Amino acid sequence: MISTNIANTGNENYVRRDAVVTQTVYGFSSVQNERSQQMALLRQMASSTGQQSAQSTLLDGLTTLSDALGGNDYELSPSAYLANLQSSLQSFAASPGEYALASTVVTDAIDVVNSLNNATATTQELREDTDAQMFEQVETLNKLLAEFKIVNDTVVRQTATGGNADDYLDRRDTLLKEISAIVGVSVNMRDNSDMVLYTYDGTTLFETDPREVSFVRTYTYDSTVTGNAIYIDGTPVRAGVGGNTDGQGSLASLVQIRDVIAPTFQTQLDEIARGLIEAFQEVDTLGGGELPGLFTWPTGTVPATGTVEPGLAALIQVNPAVRSDAGGDPMLIRDGGINGAAYVQNVDGSSGYTDLINSYVDELAANRSFSADADLKTDASVLSFASNSIGWLEELRSNATTANENKQALYERTFQTYSSKTAVSLDEELSLLLDVEQSYKAAAKLVSTVDEMLRAVLEMAG
């Protein structure tokens, strides 16, 4: 027993055994193996494992979005490029006859568009990757549950017949910890060490037999695609809530990223794009309808105010009419007429005309209506809305970072407490080994003394 314990020093999935001498009612002694099981601590281990796994998974997803925008400084965000665009418009308004300044406005507008396009691509790629992780983890969970049944059945059988189930109990505890990292579980014990598992929100996960965990993968995502739910025993896995997520297990956070955080962030990007098209729309001087100006999209219309146009951030582009590389004229930003003569504002062709440029500066700073689906203030300027989007993401990431540190610390404390009660202490085992050695020496000396006494008696009798 001691040698087995020593051989498993450092094995996190091995629970220490002791040889315990017991007395029967008839006075006989027997030696039984006793496993240092700590069920209450094991339950705490499963819970802290689920919480830590969910939190770290959420933080990874938020970090992916943050990194796509330039990390801590968010220098690649639409908000940063919009600030540049505002500055270049103000410079152009100060010297409206400078072609180079008009070209700078176009370049900065292209940067804004690229930022929206790239952020959208990253957001949808994150959803695709998250969906793939969900599929892989569901497969892993089903395999773990299948093995859990085999091991649990063996534990129940060995316990009922008086056999030694220690190795199987070790394996079942290991499986429990691996399962709880994927989906948070609570544990219920029945006769003969039979274990029943429920998800943290009460769905039966394992009771004699594993419950079905199903998921149909979606391979391609855009703003219009909704992913499939994960079902456990017919009940959908609930998404975690908040930066300090209340979910347990990685699946809850993966659902939260794919179905809550990424779509909300995408809506914010789409609303920024819509606000830009609206802010820079051209007005027909003859009383006709408004059309997209500096910023446009394939439909060639101005989207409805305050209504999300899914995927618009992926479709927005700088109007070719002002791009010199497409044969356009950047000075149309000053004069108007991106959509033809009816939309020209500088009818005299004055090189000092600034009314239209200044109106664009004002429109960037003017409050307008945004959809409540973006989870931001609905009455804001395009500039502040874009800034609020960064604030929304940063608040989530900050809360997730703090929570991850706290839950990691909780997990480590729980693990240390659990290990102190169940793991092998090499010093203690070596001390016991010395005690055994001394006992053998004492027994050997006793046998030797008895042998000498018998010889003496035989010699005297002879």
Per-residue pLDDT for 2 more than 60? no
Distance, C-alpha 396 to centroid of its chain? 12
pLDDT digits (tens, 9 = 90+) for 218-234: 999 999 999 999 999 99
Per-residue pLDDT for 242 more than 60? yes
Instruction: Enumerate long-range contacts of 186-193, CB under 8 Å, 24 or more apart.
Output: 186/43, 186/46, 186/47, 187/39, 187/42, 187/43, 187/46, 189/39, 192/155, 192/156, 192/159, 192/160, 193/155, 193/156, 193/159, 193/165, 193/169
The answer for residues whose C-beta is within 8 angstroms of residue 164's C-beta and 6 or more apart is: 33, 158
More confident residue, 435 or 67: 67
| Count of all residues that appear for the chain in the document | 462
Token pair belonging to 146:
């299948």
Return phi, psi of residue 286, to 5°.
-95, 5
DSSP letters, 145-180, are HHHHHHHHHHHHHHHHHT---HHHHHHHHHHHHHHH
| Beta bridge partners of residue 236, listed in sequence order | 231
* pLDDT (0 to 100) of residue 454: 72
User: In the chain, what are the domain boundaries?
Assistant: 1-36, 42-414
Q: 182, 137 in Cβ contact below 8 A?
A: yes
Element (H, E) at 231: strand 231-232
Sorting pLDDT into bands at 50, 70 and 90, what band is 288? confident
Range of weakest confidence among 158-162, 303-307, 412-416: 412-416
Sorting pLDDT into bands at 50, 70 and 90, what band is 436? low
The count of C-alpha atoms lying within 13 angstroms of the C-alpha of 273, restricted to the half-sphere facing its C-beta, is 31
Q: Residue written as tokens 């002791």? A: 18
Element (H, E) at 196: strand 194-199
* pLDDT (0 to 100) of residue 394: 96
Share of the chain above pLDDT 70, in %: 85
Please tell me the distance from the alpha carbon of residue 157 to that of residue 162, in angstroms, as a whole number. 9
Residue 409's CB is within 10 A of a number of other CB atoms, namely 12
* pLDDT (0 to 100) of residue 37: 76
More confident residue, 453 or 436: 453
Q: 66, 252 in Cβ contact below 8 A?
A: no
Please tell me the distance from the alpha carbon of residue 305 to that of residue 277, in angstroms, as a whole number. 10
Which burial class, exposed, middle or buried, applies to 444 when counting CB atoms under 10 A from its CB (0-12, 13-18, 19+)? Answer: exposed
Sorting pLDDT into bands at 50, 70 and 90, what band is 89? very high
Please tell me the distance from the alpha carbon of residue 202 to that of residue 274, in angstroms, as a whole number. 43
Q: Residue written as tokens 């499963």? A: 46
The count of C-alpha atoms lying within 13 angstroms of the C-alpha of 213, restricted to the half-sphere facing its C-beta, is 26
DSSP code of residue 343 = G
Summary mean pLDDT of the chain: 90
Sorting pLDDT into bands at 50, 70 and 90, what band is 348? very high
Q: 153, 218 in Cβ contact below 8 A?
A: no
More confident residue, 458 or 379: 379
Q: Residue written as tokens 């006992």? A: 439
Please tell me the distance from the alpha carbon of residue 181 to that of residue 144, in angstroms, as a whole number. 11
Per-residue pLDDT for 5 more than 60? no
pTM of the complete model: 0.87
Strands of the sheet containing 194-199, edge to edge, are 185-190, 194-199, 204-207, 209-210
pLDDT digits (tens, 9 = 90+) for 113-148: 999 999 999 999 999 999 999 999 999 999 999 999
Backbone CA torsion sign across 405, 407, 408, 413: positive
Sequence letter at residue 182 = I
Q: What is the dihedral of CA 172, 175, 176, 178, to 10 degrees?
A: 160
